[in-house]
Amino acid sequence: MSLPRWLPAQTAGERNVSWLAEIQQPRPPIANPPVESKPLPPLLVDEHGREIRTVAEWEQRRMRLLAQWSDFLGLEKLRRPEQLEVTVLAEDHDAGVWRRRIRYQVEPDWFSEAYWLEPRDLDRRAPAAVVLHSTVEHSIRQPAGLAADKEQAFALQLAQRGFVCIAPRNYLWPTNEQLKANEESSRFLEAHPGCKGMARMLLDAQIAVDLLARSPRVDSKRIACVGHSLGAKEVLYLAAFDPRIAAAVSSEGGIGKFFSNWEDPWYLGATIKTDEFVRDHHELLAAIAPRPFLLIGGDSADGDRSWPYIASAMQVYQLYQKTPPIGLYNHKQGHTVPPECGERILEWITTYTA
């Protein structure tokens, strides 16, 4: 079976992590689901109620679902800049890799920063990753390995393993050391009527992919994304909407729309709490198929209660291949990234971008 044209070619490979079967074991129903939770609508049914049996039929359904999500988010109201002028503000190689802090324009009146990390003496096109920081005051210093929370220094860890990485600043931080969620989300939403805050997060993440893809040091067919908490939410949307993402890891973001604070204005807004909003994130998970996706939980935002989302999306993945690269790893240690979890994150990304 040939893969759809929008999918990167490397997803056709058969290499898998050795623990794939472990993370595909069904979980029993949880005792106390969120009050708002309802059974997930089936994915493999078209708009006429007919069963979807083929990849081609699913592709039609997938495009309709993404169009519905795009309309809800207001994505058509935003445009990525055609010209990306990058200024290097600082650089070092203290950790054995080049680490540069860069500045670039996101919108006409809005500039952002990121850390760009790459191996020293890189002489070939390398795999790459977009690393999305969590909710910490020091923002991009975390993934770059410049903060105390080293367990989430994924950009540095991947660069030390041969990756080119970019860690972009989320729009809720007007500076690298200052979070102002209410002020910055209000500023964006007032300037962009009809948009959701997650649309801006997706825009920023896609610009980061643009910067990687245009680099002569990057193999544009081997770009991954990874994030924890806030960053995990961004990973889900980036992987669903950007076919250049070849593999993804989402840690403790809260995959269900009622699992965490998705209703906040900087994400999806209060509309998702109404009966009129019928979408849920199993649709975006399925839209990523057949590209590798690892969901990590600690029984906080995600955990065994997240299994129905994986199980639902897995039915779509199985249209493409018998052993699909998707699963749920629950470390059961809360809203954190314990060492063994960090190793699995790195193994997942390196395995599926090899």
Token digits of residue 184: 């910055």
Question: How far is residue 143 from each of residues 30, 135, 196, 232, 331, measured CA to CA in Å?
Answer: 33, 12, 26, 13, 21
Looking at residue 337, its pLDDT comes to: 97
Looking at residue 7, its pLDDT comes to: 44
Token digits of residue 343: 């190793």
pLDDT tens-digit series, residues 1-24: 233 434 443 444 568 999 999 999
Query: What span, in angstroms and rounded, lies between the C-alpha atoms of 136 and 161?
Result: 25
Q: Phi then psi for 35, rounded to 5 degrees? A: -55, -40
Walk me through the domains of the chain, giving residue ranges and CATH numbers.
Answer: 16-27+38-352 (3.40.50.1820)
pLDDT tens-digit series, residues 296-341: 999 999 999 999 999 999 999 999 999 999 999 999 999 999 999 9
- Cβ neighbour number for residue 175 with a 10 Å cutoff: 11
Q: Which residue reads 């009527």 in tokens?
A: 193
Looking at residue 11, its pLDDT comes to: 44
Collapsing DSSP states into helix, strand and coil, what is residue 342? helix
Looking at residue 35, its pLDDT comes to: 62
Looking at residue 81, its pLDDT comes to: 86
Which parts of the chain register pLDDT below 70?
1-14, 33-37
